[in-house]
Each structure stands twice: as C-alpha cells, then as structure tokens.
Amino acid sequence: MQYVMIDSHCHLDLIKAPLSTQKVIDDAAQLGVDKILVPGISPSNWQQVELLSRQNESVYYALGCHPMYLSADISSSLRRLELALDNRNERCVAVGECGLDFYKGREDADLQLEYLVKQLKLANQHLLPVILHCRKAHQDLVKVLKANKPIKGGVLHGFTGSYQQAMEYVKLGLKIGVGGSITYPRASKTRQAISQLPLDSLVLETDAPDMPLNGKQGSQNEPKFIKLVLNELILLRNEGEQTVALKVHYNASSVFDFC
Ligand SMILES: [Zn+2]
C-alpha cells in the first residue's frame, strides 16, 4: 500500500550533483512523501532552507545552530538566530538542529552547551518545538533538557542507543526520530529500542543526503528512501502495517505545526 509519509529531518540544501534538489523532492512526492522538514545548521544556510520552503509546497524549515558547525562568536550567531526567528514565516516550524556532539571529544563542550541552552530558551520564547542532534552525549543532553524543558516538545533526531536512553527523551515529551540506522542488522540495540518504544513517540526521518540505508552505502541518501525506513519499522513492530504508517505520520504532524 502507498502511505503518506513525512521526512522529519532532511538536509535538502546539501544534496549534490548528479542529483538535483528538485528531482529528489519530486521522486519523494511520487512515493508518498507529503512533507519534508529541512533543518538549519548555521546562519550560512538559513536563507537557503527558507527559500526551499517557499519554492516547494511540501518543504518546511527550521532555524538553528548545529553543534558541529558552531562559530566561536556565540553572541553574534545567537543574535542572528533570534532575529531570524523574529522574522520567520509560517513555514518555519522548529528551532534546530541543535544539540551536543562529543563524537570527536569534549574539547568545545562548554561552547556546545552554551549554544544549546540558549537555543532551547529561544524555542520556548517563540513557542516552537526543537530538533535535537546527539552523538556520544545522551547523559549530558538529558541533563540539559531536564533543566530547560522544551515546552512545545520536539524530536531527538537520528536516534541510536538503548531503550532506556530513548525513554529518557520520551518522558520529557519528545519524539524519537527513526532513520536508516534501523536497516542495519548490526544496530541491534537501536533496533530493539525502536521495537519497544511507545508507537506514539516515533517519527520517521532520512537525514539525507547523510546516513545511507543498508545496501546503499557510498551514494547520497534521499527522502524517497523513507519508504524503506517505514517498511523496516513495520517489520520491527507488532501493530500492523497501516497502524504504524498512519501513526508515525500523525506523530510528526502533532509536533510540527505544518500549515
Ligand atoms: Zn541533520
């Protein structure tokens, strides 16, 4: 069956030749992807993501500073973010992506934490949900979130980890972004977590052009492959195909105010 699907995390602005952004959007639409949410990563891409949302009916955007692309001039970046949020249009549906990334170590942990806390505050001030990125930092991130609760919720995107770790976010009212990692048999801990979490808490994403699915390593990921993520999710769950497909679509629409 064909279901409507939402790609809740897709970096359309980073798609490179030989693919074109337009082709990628059209191919995804043909397979039933009715909405694509493109996160901001730094002031340098905010105009581009906003433009993509204006040019394509199915595209929405978020504004934020990704922990891997932080400028040391924190006050200037955050002032720009505040200004961009003040001037956003109705297709801006979240703050993000923001978060913590200690994959390469904790050298700039203080900078990352300062950016994160401020973005959580901005999200609450603007009554927007947050899109959260986390690598090697679940404990730290949960601690920050408990002290700065996102009142409009949000998504912990690209989740990998244990059931217990995921439930920490669910208890804070956040959704869990399910992506291509569940297509890898070796990701058994993540697969098990996703099979056990409340269905209410799951949303789909591709993180394209990153995070290729199993069997597609070496090529750019695309939002149309969200259908394969959904198929895998259906296999991991006991609720039946239609229930899973409809519910994850509903979940994403309930976090983000798609106009
Ligand atoms: Zn991302």
CA angle, 100 then 257 then 20, to 5° = 70
Whole-number Å distance, alpha carbon 43 to ligand 1 midpoint, is 15
Whole-number Å distance, alpha carbon 187 to ligand 1 midpoint, is 19
For 135-171, what is each residue's pLDDT tens digit? 999 999 999 999 999 999 999 999 999 999 999 999 9
What mean pLDDT is predicted for residues 65-69?
Answer: 97
Whole-number Å distance, alpha carbon 36 to ligand 1 midpoint, is 13
Whole-number Å distance, alpha carbon 37 to ligand 1 midpoint, is 10
E-strand ranges in the chain read: 5-7, 33-38, 59-63, 92-101, 130-135, 154-156, 175-178, 202-204
Whole-number Å distance, alpha carbon 207 to ligand 1 midpoint, is 5
Whole-number Å distance, alpha carbon 196 to ligand 1 midpoint, is 24
The pLDDT value recorded for residue 100 is 98
154, β-bridge pairs? 130
- pTM, 2 dp: 0.97
For 240-252, what is each residue's pLDDT tens digit? 999 999 999 999 9
Is the pLDDT assigned to residue 1 strictly greater than 90?
no
Q: Residues 42, 78: contact at Cβ < 8 Å?
A: no
Whole-number Å distance, alpha carbon 166 to ligand 1 midpoint, is 18
98, β-bridge pairs? 132
Is the pLDDT assigned to residue 259 strictly greater than 90?
no
Q: Any idea what DSSP says for residue 108?
A: T
Q: Residues 145, 108: contact at Cβ < 8 Å?
A: no
Whole-number Å distance, alpha carbon 10 to ligand 1 midpoint, is 7
The pLDDT value recorded for residue 86 is 98
For 193-248, what is each residue's pLDDT tens digit? 999 999 999 999 999 999 999 999 999 999 999 999 999 999 999 999 999 999 99
